[in-house]
Structure 1
Amino acid sequence: MRLTVIGCGYLGAVHAAAMAHLGHDVLGIDTDPHRASTLARGEAPFYEPGLPELLAPGAADHRLRFTAEPTTEDLALADVHFIAVGTPQSAHGGGADLSQVFSAVDLLLEHLPEGGSPLVVGKSTVPVGTAREVARRLAGRAHVVWNPEFLREGLAVKDTLHPDRIVYGLPDDPDQARAACQSLDTVYAELLAEGIPRITMDYATAELVKTAANSFLATKISFINAMSAMCEAAGADVTVLAQALGHDQRIGHRFLQAGVGFGGGCLPKDIRALRASAVSMGVDALADLLAQVDAINQAQREHIVELAVQHAQGGPEGVKGMEGMEGMAVTILGAAFKPNSDDRRDSPALDVADRLAQLGATVTICDPKALDGVAQSHPGLLPQVDVEEALKGAELVLLLTEWQQFVELDPARAAELVARPIIIDGRNALDPQAWRAAGWSYTGMGR
C-alpha cells in the first residue's frame, strides 16, 4: 500500500521504516528539513538499536522516502496516512499540546480531495475527544482510526514489528468502521498473520489505552519507590522485597526496580495529561492518585541529592542543610533517561547532575550515547564519554542510568581511579557485596 507517516521523530521514523520493511511504499513527512534529509540518506537522527538496519535498505530501494515539502500528489495518492507527531506537555499546564496533531490535520485538509476515502490513522498519544475532533474536521475526505503505539525506547523496532497487541479505535458508523478496519488490516496483514491480538474499540477507549498503560506502569514504579523509603526507615532491603513480591503472578517482577525514578518523553507527560483530563471531567480519585504518583517520582530525585550531600558532609546522620558540595568532584554515570537510548528528555540523571552543580559541585557526566549537545544545554556539567576518564579524581560517584558497561565495571579498577571510593547506586543495579569488598562505601536505594 502507499502510506505517509506525518511526523518523523522517534515514533514516526521507526514506524515509517518498519512499514517499508513490511513491503509498503512509505513517504515520511517532517517539518524539520535536516531530519528529513538525514532519514532520506538512510541514517538515524537518534540512537535506537535496529533502526539503521531498517532505514538503509528502504532508502536504497526507494520504498522508503522522506521529505519536508510534500506535494498534493504525494498526499492525494496515498491509501493510508499515519499521524505520528509529538504531543508534548503544554506550556500552560499538565495537559497535552495538540498543536502538531492539528497542523497535520490541516496539511491533509489542504491536499486531500473531497469525496475521497483514504484512511487517516492517529498514532500520537492524545486525550479523549481528539480522535472525534480529527474525524469531524476530515469528514468527507477520509475515515479516521486511532491506533496508539506502545513502543519502548531501545526496543522500538521489535515493538513495532512484533507488538504484543494492536488497538483500533473505530468510528461509530458501522460501515465506516468496517471499511477502516479492513484498510488497516491490510497494512498490518503480516503482523496479524503472526497471531498478534487485534482489539477493536471506540475512539475514547483507544485514546485512554496508552495513557492508562503508562500511568499504571508509573504507579508501579512509584509504589516500589515509596516502599524503598519504608525499607530505609525499617532497615529492610527493597530489592529482596521486590523479588518476593514479583513471584506473585498477580504482581510480576517487571517495573519493581526501586531507584531514582522514571523520566523520558512518555511516562511523565502521559500521567500529567491523564490527570489533566481527569480533573476536567471531575474524576477526582484518578486525578489525586496520579498527582501522588508524580510527586513520589519527583521526590526520588531529591532523595538522591540529599544522599550526595550527606556523603559530602561526612556521615549518615542526616542532611544538615544543603552545604558541603562546594568544589566536590562528582561523577554521574548516565545522562539518558534509560539505557540503550540517547533520549535525555526529563532525565532523572541530568536533573540530579544539574542540582548538584547548582550546589557547587564540579560535576562530570558520562554516557555512551547521550552527550551530544550536553555542553550547550547544560553548561554547568562536564561531559565525558570515556568512563575511566570520567572516574579519575572523583570524590563521589552516582550510577543513575544502568548502561551495561556501567553495571559491569570492575569495582577494584574503578577504586584505583577515584579520589574517594564512594558510590550511590541510584538504580540498585550493582552488586553491593562486590563493591564493598573492593573498598567502596556503597549506598543503594531502600537497601
Structure 2
Amino acid sequence: MRWLLSAGLLAGVLAAFVPAVPAAEQLDRIVAVVGEGVILESELDAATRQIQARLGPEAQRIPEDVLRSQVLDQLIIKRLQTQRAEKAGMRVEDSEVNAALQRLAQQNGMSLDQFLRNIRADGMEPQDLRERLRDELLINKLRQREVNSRIVVTEEDVDRYLESESLRVQENREYRIRHLLISLPDGASPEQVRAARQRIETLRERAVSGTASFSDLVIAHSDGQKALEGGDLGWLAGGYLPTVFSEVVPKLEVGEISEPFRGASGYHLIKLEDVRATGNAAAPDEQVIVEEVKARHILLELNEIRDDERARREAEKLRERILAGDDFAELARQHSDDPGSANQGGDLGWAPAEAYNPAFAERLRQLEAGEISEPFKSPNGWHIVEVLDRRERDQTEERRRARARQALGRRKVEEEGEVWLRRLRDEAYVEIRMDDYKKDAEIGG
C-alpha cells in the first residue's frame, strides 16, 4: 500500500517499509562509529532493503557497495542529528508522537485504529513506526532551532527579489531538476577546491557525452541528500528555487546540463528535466482589496474571583453605563483585562475582522459603525465591542512582499540546511568500518 504522508521530514518515515531480519539470525557487527554511538550492520541491512524496495527495478542497476555506502551516509547524518538534539536536552513527548500518528491517519482518510491495522498488515509494527516518528520529530525540532529560527529576511532582500524581473517570471513556472553535489569542507584548501572542480568537470563531460547517465553519476558520486533518487528534486516553483540555483536553472533548456557552479556547500551540476507553467501568471499583479475594521473593546477575563456568570453581569452593567453616557475609553482603561489595548482606551486599531478569533470576528461583521455590541463570550472571556469605522484598503503590494518574503525564507532554509548538515558531518568523529565502503563505482554499462 502506498501511504499518503505529511510534508517535510515525516515524508520518508513509512516509505516502502521492509521488516528487518531478526537479530538472532545474523551475526551483527559495527559498520560505523558515529560520535559516541555506533551503526550496526543489521541497521544498514534493514535501511538498504527499504531503499531497494522504494527504488524498485532501478535498484538493480546500482552496485551493492555503492548503494550501501550511500545508505550508510544517510544513517550517519541522521544519527549525528539525533545525538546533537539529545545532547542539547531536546526530547519528543509521547503526546507529540500520538499527534503525528493521528495526522498521518487523517491524511490517509482513516481512523487511528484503521491506520495501525493497515500498518501491521504491511509488515510494520506500530512501535517501530512510533520510534521512527520520534526520531524525525526530534530532528525537526533540532533543525527548527539551529537552522530555521536563525533565518532572517530583510526588507532589502525583499526589494532585491522584487526588482529582479527574472525572478518575477520564475514565480509562474515550475522546474523538474536533478542535482549533483561535490561537497567541500569549511575552509577548503586551494588543492581541495581544484580537485573538486576537476572532479565535477569530468562528471559533466561524461554526462554530456553520453558515456554515463546523469542520474547514474549522481547515485555514484553525489554528496547531496537526494543521491539515491538520482538527484531528483521533483518539481520546484521558480520563486522557491535555492538562490544558488535561481540564476542557473531558468537559463537551461529542457535536457540541458549546467556548467559546474560553486555554492556554499561545494560544486553543483544541474540537469533540467522539464518545465511547466503554474497557471498563476496573473496572480502576482491581481489587486487585493481587504475590508478593515477600526474597533475598541472591553475584555473581562474569567478567574478565581470572577466566574462566567459574574463576568457576563459585569459586562452588561458596563454596556448600560456606556449607553447612559459614560466614556467607553475611560471605562476600558479602568476595567478591561486586555493589556494590549486597555491603556489606549480599548482601541484595537485598524485590522481585518479575520485577524481576530472567530467569535470576535463574527461580532465585528454584524455591527454597524458606531454600534456597541451586546456582551458576548470568546475564548478570552466576555467582551463589549464598538465598531468605530470601516474602510477598504489595497493590500496588493503587501501580499506581493509577503509572497517574496516566504519564497526567500524557504530558499534560505534550504541553503542553510545544506551548509549546516555539512558542518555537522565535518566536525563530528566518524569512523567507517564498512569493508566495501565505496561511492565512486561505475553504474550501468
TM-score for the superposition, normalised by structure 2: 0.26
Greater share of helix = 2
**Which one has more relative contact order, counting CA pairs under 8 Å at least 6 apart?**
2
TM-score for the superposition, normalised by structure 1: 0.26
